[in-house]
Amino acid sequence: MSGDQAVTKLTAAVSKLRGLKLRLEERNEIETLQLQRCRTRLDHLGTASVGNLKEWNDMKLKRILVDYFLRKCDIVFATKLAETYNIQDLVDIDVFLEAKEIIDFLHNKEIPPALAWCAENRIRLNKFKSKFEFHLRRQEFIELLRIDNLSLAVDYAQNYLAPWGATFREELEHVMGAFAFSVNTECETYKVLFEEKQWDYLVEDFKREFHRLFGITNESPLDIHLQAGLTVLKTLSCYEGNCPKEDPFSQAGFRKLAEQLPFSNHRSSKLICYISKQPMDHLNRPLVLPNGYAYSTMALLSMAVGNENEITCPRTGDVCHISELVFAHIIL
């Protein structure tokens, strides 16, 4: 080649190398940030101990609250909350921010950003046998049929839907049948494809795949903890007129929240005091120490007598005054 051609090719190679270097630097910054977050979270997990259990649980609750608002796409409030609690490295704001951008585009009926996200994560999505990208292509195809652009719809189907035939043959054959129907069809099989709620299905589909990609539960930790707590408290006695005032289920609001949850069975359960080895029931109720451990009333009162009303936890050695103890509610 001539000298000019060599200079042109070398200039192009240098340009590519500079672009590669820039991308590598960006990825290195991202990796460094992620490693820092992992280190912060590991350090946080290592701080959990009996001595600071209350503080650690308070921090866990703050993380759960931030996570809840992130899932609701209220990124601004979640960010302010995380900054207030100084837990930015313990929550995934940037991850959910990326998700919110895609969700907003889908709500505006814009598919290209979601397709770009699929292309960026195609290897991992293929491992999950994800249908999300196919559903995006299907929706674009339906939108072409909606405006009655059949020639462009045919080209689109050949280029972007046909390659999915080996993977999702039945679904592909079904959507191809939409050629024979109009937007206002009364055929239920194809009427659903033209409905506006298909965009809502795409949003939910994206959320599921996004959660799988990042190892996030579909339900928020707040919902999970709330359901677990209500299930433990929900017993038949609460609905048979024997519900004491201390029981949260004496309030209609809690009953409403737990309507769809199963009853908890406590018929064969027993609480035995660690100190006296006697059962703890409504006659010998458990008292909770500030450190979270609970013992029977009789055992703690016996310990307080002649000891200036001070209690020593037999497990941790923590000392507290009897006035600091709190009754625990027992579900029978």
Say which CATH number the domain at 325 has.
3.30.40.10
What strand order describes the sheet that includes 286-288?
Answer: 294-296, 286-288, 326-327
Q: Would residue 185 count as lying in a domain?
A: yes
Residue 60 domain flag: no
My answer on whether 202 and 278 are in the same domain is no
CB 332 within 8 A of CB 246: no
Domain that holds residue 2: 1-46
Specify if 84 maps to a domain: no
- Contacting residues for 48 by C-beta, under 8 A, at least 6 apart: 56
Residues 203 and 225 in one domain: no
Other CB atoms closer than 10 Å to residue 311's CB: what's the count? 22
> Do the domain assignments include residue 65?
no
Residue pair 193/146 in contact by the 8 Å Cβ criterion? no
Give every residue of the chain whose pLDDT is below 70, as ranges. Answer: 241-242, 265-269, 330-332
Report yes or no: 318 and 291 within 8 Å, Cβ to Cβ: yes
What's the structural domain count of the chain?
4
Where does residue 199 fall: left (phi above 0), alpha (psi -120 to 50 degrees), or beta otherwise?
A: alpha
252 and 309 part of one domain: no
> pLDDT tens-digit profile of 65-75?
999 999 998 99
Flag whether the pTM goes above 0.75.
no
Q: What pLDDT shows up at residue 103?
A: 95
pLDDT per residue over 227-285, tens digit each? 998 888 887 777 776 677 777 888 888 888 888 888 876 655 678 899 998 988 878 88
pLDDT score, position 300:
92
CA distance 289 to 99: 43
Same domain, 179 and 120: yes
Q: Is residue 199 assigned to a domain?
A: yes
Interatomic CA distance for residues 236 and 215, integer angstroms? 36
Question: By the 8 A CB rule, do 236 and 263 touch?
Answer: yes
Domain presence at residue 329: yes
